[in-house]
Amino acid sequence: MLAVQNLHAGISGKEILRGLSMDVQAGQVHAVMGPNGSGKSTLAHVLAGRGPYEVTGGQALFDGADLLGMAPEERAAAGLFLAFQHPVEIPGVANMYFLRTALNSLRHQRGQSEVSPGEFLRQLEDKVSQVGLDRTLLQRSVNEGFSGGEKKRNEVLQMALFEPRLAILDETDSGLDIDALRVVADGVEALRGPQRAFVIITHHQRLLEYVRPDRVHVLSGGRIVRSAGPELASELEANGYGEARTGRSTDELARAGASR
Amino acid sequence: MTSTLPDLDIAELASREYQYGFASDIDTDLAPKGLSEEVIRLISQKKEEPNWLLQWRLSAYRHWLAMSEPTWQNVHYGPVDYADIIYYAAPKSKKKGPSSLDEVDPEVRAMFDKLGISLAEQERLSGVAVDAVVDSVSVVTTFQRKLAEAGVIFCSFSEAVRTHPDLVRPYLGSVVPYRDNFFATLNSAVFSDGSFCYVPKGVRCPMELSTYFRINAAGTGQFERTLIVAEEGATVSYLEGCTAPRRDDNQLHAAVVELVALEGASIKYSTVQNWYPGDAQGRGGIYNFVTKRGRCAGAGSKISWTQVETGSAITWKYPGVVLQGEGSVGEFYSVALSANHQQADTGTKMVHIGKGTKSTIVSKAISAGHGQNTYRGLVKMLRSAEGARNHTRCDSLLIGPQCGAHTFPYIEVKHPSAQAEHEATTSKVSEDQLFYCRQRGISEEEATSMIVNGFCREVFRELPMEFAVEAQRLLSVSLEGTVG
Ligand SMILES: Nc1ncnc2c1ncn2[C@@H]1O[C@H](COP(=O)(O)OP(=O)(O)OP(=O)(O)O)[C@@H](O)[C@H]1O
Ligand SMILES: [Mg+2]
């Protein structure tokens, strides 16, 4: 579904991603871990099409289409969703109005008709109960004055409502209480299916105990330096990134070992 | 739910520009170009005015001759040739002062239909009384009979001069004297039509009143004059809307509005100003040089101005309130947009005279393209204004690198117990806000309009519902092409 090959990207002349490759199949959940400043959010933003980042090499295909040539809203319409590490406040714009505008914009781009206000409310009600969002947050301005955890829940609400094919969660589990963590996990599990995929950026193994990833990658210095199964997460939790940072990918090591 | 305003059909809007830019082919009666005592006499005579009014006009004219145009405002424009303006233009009507819709020229009705204000429909459906002013005259006022039953007088200014001179005379010039300023004085000399509204003691006006101003004829100026008087305990809400054809030369609009609120009375005055703003290169557009002032004459009275200024090449206006009555309240809520090459120098004047008077100012200025937006406000608390309070909030929003926002607050407090607070912010439509919206599938243009509308919400909330929707729509249209 998502094929990233030798991606180079940076910002204000500084290269951050230095030849990153990863391959996410439909139906899979991939976890991306890595030290602060290693380029995880950069990867997420570049995939979502954020302007100030410049792609200087490589490619990214989404269902075979050139992702990097699409406008951010086209990527969204194609089914790519990013749960932001730092959700943005939009003063004066009611959250509920924002959600409906977004949903209808997505539908409009896909050639579907708008949802009626009644139908929208039904869908929203459903998802709001699912993620346990305080209903008063729907009337407030988008993310304005929301607590850290409320902002993250609001991101999960949007994921649930828009039902993306590929969701990238950028530290959606950071700063959450234990119940909220479950909400994130349940949000992913509710959508998980053969047609969808997830890239979960996280620093903690805890979320990955609720959502078993198919692959775990370590991103360091702008590259994936190690990839393995879910056991890698617990290993990193125990030992830190020290080893992974310097090592070659375990896949490579495994292959090297096998061929010997 | 008050927090969510209805949706805007942005896709449909995306294909439009200034949609009111058409001109209608209406048979028009014009005064000769230029200004002289003869022209003033002609205007007065056409309106069959009493001599006192003619004399008042002439005094204003003589005073004006000795005045010079103000230059302190932060706007730039070429000289206005006052000799090259037609000061009176009136759609010809078979009968004078049509009193019912059937008597209105079909071309004029068609023009209003095209503007989205079907006069016939207004009368049947919406329950908003409309005074329709084209160029220099009122062409029709709807709902007069129903209003009369409640004791409310709502008619064109000229009609009021004929039918209720005793009500007009004591108030005319009582808030904005004819010597007030260059443009107000010019208006006093040549004013043609506008609306008059009188709400008697204790009456709550049973419906929204509105005036729709339309400049149609080329080379003319519009100099309307509106007077609203609310007697003791009366309440009225009044709206005005404005549009003009797209033309390459600039047209002058110099209006005067006077409001008088007696004890316990309340007047809410809302404006959605969408005069032709000129093209993207800054050619053409209306010079909107307007004097609006209210007087809270009685104790506990209240005057509230709400304005949404999206049009005009240049806007120059400071709707103010003179707070005389004890405990009276003045409010000013404003959204002013300057896109392309538009310039706005606008704000308010709150003059606190009475004890315990209060005023609130909320100004939202949006600049885009090469637009320049200036907030200029005066809060003056005289020695008599014991315990007076003012709160001012001026927020500016910038879209793009070439526009500008400026804030000039003037505060004079003469009584030690009086207090004026001023807050100001300047922000940009940020890249991260736009990206957040776009990641959710919302186009950049729609996202900008949504963010800007959010910025203005506090002001839109003050508008009557239909006008709030209209204001949102206008803002979106006006912002088109300013992003990216
Ligand atoms: N606008 C910018 N200008 C210069 N450097 C930037 C800019 N934005 C990000 N960076 C740098 O790029 C690097 C990667 O940042 P990124 O946010 O992708 O890290 P991350 O892996 O998500 O870290 P964290 O775990 O702390 O969220 C950092 O060193 C950061 O300082
Ligand atoms: Mg990050």
Task: Quickly tell me which residue has 């056991």 as its tokens.
Answer: A231
Answer yes or no: is the C-beta of A13 below 6 A from any ligand 1 atom: no
Residue found by looking up tokens 């003319």 in the block:
B220
Question: What whole-number distance in Å separates Cα of residue A252 and Cα of residue B53?
Answer: 97
- When CB atoms are compared, the residue of A76, A91, A94 closest to B440 is A76
Q: List CB contacts (< 8 A) between A42 and chain B.
A: none
- Among B432, B436, B454, beta carbon nearest to A92: B454
* A128-132, A233-237, B107-111, B469-473: range with lowest mean pLDDT: B107-111
- Residues A199 and A205: their CA atoms lie apart, in Å, by 14
Residues of B in contact with A53 (CB under 8 A): none
Chain segment B306-322, per-residue pLDDT in tens: 988 888 788 888 999 99
Residue B3 lies in a domain: no
Residue B379, beta-bridge partner list: B350, B411
- State how far the Cα of B160 lies from the Cα of A141, in Å rounded to an integer: 47
Residue nearest to atom 26 of ligand 1 (CA): A36
What percentage of residues in chain B have a pLDDT greater than 90?
42
Q: Reply yes or no on whether the pLDDT at B65 is more than 80.
A: yes
Task: List Cα–Cα distances, B380 to B73, B82, B296, B317, B332, in angstroms.
Answer: 19, 33, 15, 17, 15
Beta bridge partners of A32: A201, A217
Q: Is the pLDDT of residue B146 over 90?
A: no
A47, A82, A93: best mutation site toward chain B, by most B Cβ within 10 Å? A93
* Nearest alpha-carbon partner for B245 in B271, B269, B266, B219: B219
Going across the sheet that includes A14-24, the strands are A14-24, A2-11, A53-62, A65-66
Mean pLDDT of B285-298: 91
Q: Give, for ligand 1, the residue of A7, A20, A42, A203 to mutate: max count of ligand atoms closer than 8 Å to Cβ.
A: A42
Prediction pTM value: 0.81
Q: Kindly determine whether residue A105 and residue B432, on different chains, have CB atoms separated by under 8 Å.
A: no
Please, what sign has the CA dihedral across residues B179, B180, B181, B185? negative
pLDDT at B138: 61
Look at residue A254 in the predicted model and tell me its pLDDT: 46
The pLDDT score that the predictor gives to residue A259 is 41
- pLDDT above 50: residue B261: yes
CA dist., res. B460 & res. B453, Å (int): 8
Count how many residues are written for chain A: 260
Dist. CA B132–CA B140, nearest whole Å:
5
The predicted model gives A76-82 an average pLDDT of: 98
CA-to-CA distance for B329 and B264, rounded, in angstroms?
Answer: 10
Q: How many CB atoms are closer than 10 A to CB A208?
A: 22
Q: State the Cα–Cα distance between residues A75 and A61, nearest whole angstrom.
A: 11
pLDDT confidence of residue B246: 66
Weakest mean pLDDT among A193-202, B54-63, B364-373, B430-439: B364-373
Determine contact: A85 vs chain B, CB below 8 A: no
Contact A141 B454 (CB under 8 A): yes
pLDDT at A11: 95
- For residue A20, give the ligand nearest its CA: 1
CA A135 to each of CA A124, A151, B5, B180, B482: distance values in angstroms, whole numbers, following the listed order: 10, 13, 18, 53, 36
Residue, of B91 and B83, whose pLDDT is higher: B83
The CA distance from B389 to B136, in Å, is 40
CA separation for the pair B317, B376 (Å, rounded): 9
For the record, the structure tokens of B36 come out as 């002289």
Q: Which of B92-96, B131-135, B384-388, B421-425 shows the lowest mean pLDDT across its residues?
A: B92-96
* Residues whose CB is less than 8 angstroms from the CB of residue A180 and which lie 6 or more positions away in sequence, other chains included: A149, A152, A153
Query: Cα angle vertex B229, ends B225, B230, to 5°?
Result: 150
**Superfamily of domain A2-87+164-258 in the CATH hierarchy:** P-loop containing nucleotide triphosphate hydrolases (3.40.50.300)
The span from the CA of B240 to the CA of B276, in Å, is: 15
Per-residue pLDDT reduced to its tens digit, B1-47:
233 333 333 333 333 356 666 666 666 677 777 889 988 998 898 88
Mean confidence (pLDDT) of chain B: 82
Phi and psi dihedrals of B78, rounded to 5? -70, 165
Can you tell me the distance from the alpha carbon of A122 to that of A140, in angstroms, rounded to the nearest whole number?
19
Do residues B405 and B367 touch, judged by C-beta distance below 8 A? yes
A110/A77 Cα distance (integer angstroms)? 7
3-class state of residue B255 by DSSP: coil
| pLDDT at site B14 | 30
What local confidence, expressed as pLDDT, does residue A21 receive?
A: 96
Lowest-confidence region among A116-120, A160-164, A230-234, B6-10: B6-10
Encode pLDDT of B45-57 as tens digits.
888 899 999 999 9
CA distances from B427 to A177, B382, B431 (A): 34, 34, 12
Per-residue confidence band for A253, with pLDDT thresholds at 50, 70 and 90: very low
pLDDT at A190 over 60: yes
Percent of chain B with pLDDT over 70: 79
Q: How many angstroms separate the CA atoms of B224 and B243, rounded?
A: 14
Number of folded domains that form chain B: 1
Alpha-carbon distances, residue A175 vs A129, B413, B439 (angstroms): 21, 49, 23
**B105-126 tens-digit pLDDT:** 666 666 666 666 555 555 544 4
A257 touches chain B (CB under 8 A): no
pLDDT of residue B349: 95
Kindly tell me if the per-residue pLDDT of B75 is higher than 80: no
CA of A36 to the centre of ligand 2 (A): 7
Q: Which residues of B touch A (CB under 8 A)?
A: 1, 3-5, 7, 11, 430-433, 435-444, 446, 450-451, 453-458
For residues B74 and A11, which has the higher predicted lDDT (pLDDT)?
A11
Average pLDDT of every residue of chain A = 91
pLDDT range class, residue B221, cuts 50, 70, 90 = confident
Q: What are phi and psi of B193, to 5 degrees?
A: -135, 180
Residue B140 · residue B176 · CB < 8 Å: no
The answer to whether B217 touches B247, Cβ cutoff 8 Å, is no
Contact B28, B217 (CB under 8 A): yes
Give contacts of A98 with chain B, Cβ < 8 Å. Answer: 437, 440, 450
pLDDT of residue B188 exceeding 50, the answer is yes
Q: How high is the pLDDT of residue B258?
A: 97
Dihedral sign for Cα atoms in the order A222, A226, A232, A237: negative
The span from the CA of B64 to the CA of B212, in Å, is 28
Tokens standing for B382?
Answer: 């005289």
Which is more confident, A238 or A103?
Answer: A103
**For chain A, percent of residues with pLDDT exceeding 70:** 93
* Nearest of B228, B196, B199 to residue B47 by alpha carbon: B196
Cβ distance A99 to A125 under 8 Å?
no
Distance of CA A92 to the CA centre of its chain: 27
Q: Is A97 on the interface with B (CB under 8 A)?
A: yes
Q: How far apart are CA A66 and CA A62, in angstroms?
A: 6
Is the CB of A217 within 6 Å of ligand 1?
no
Contacts of B120 (CB under 8 A, 6+ apart): B101, B109
Q: Which of B440, B462, B469, B483 to mutate to test the interface with A (most CBs of A within 10 A)?
A: B440
Chosen from B5, B426, B431, B436 to mutate, greatest number of chain A CBs within 10 A: B436
CB B153 within 8 A of CB B230: no
Half-sphere exposure of A185 (CA within 13 A, CB side): 17
What tens digit of pLDDT does each residue of A27-57 get? 999 999 999 999 999 999 999 999 899 999 9
Chain A's closest residue to B1, CA to CA, is A139
pLDDT digits (tens, 9 = 90+) for B346-380: 899 999 999 999 999 999 998 888 888 889 999 99
- Rounded average pLDDT over A191-203: 95
Q: Which residue has the higher pLDDT, B268 or B96?
A: B268
Helix axes A148-162, A117-131, angle to 10 degrees: 130
Written as one letter, the residue type at B347 is G
Owning domain of residue B266:
10-479
Using alpha carbons, list the distances in angstroms from residue B82 to A7, A231, B135, B186, B220: 66, 84, 17, 10, 11
Long-range pairs for A236-239: beta carbons < 8 A, 24 or more residues apart:
A236/A33, A236/A205, A237/A204, A237/A205
pLDDT of residue B484: 47
Q: Is A38 in the pocket of ligand 1 (CB under 6 A)?
A: yes
Q: How many helices (H) and strands (E) does chain A have?
A: 11, 12
Task: Specify the 3-state DSSP secondary structure of A201.
Answer: strand
Residues of A in contact with B442 (CB under 8 A): 73, 101-102, 105
CA separation (Å) from B356 to B199, B328, B350? 26, 7, 14
pLDDT of residue B141: 66
| DSSP helix/strand/coil, B422 | strand
pLDDT at B227 over 60: yes
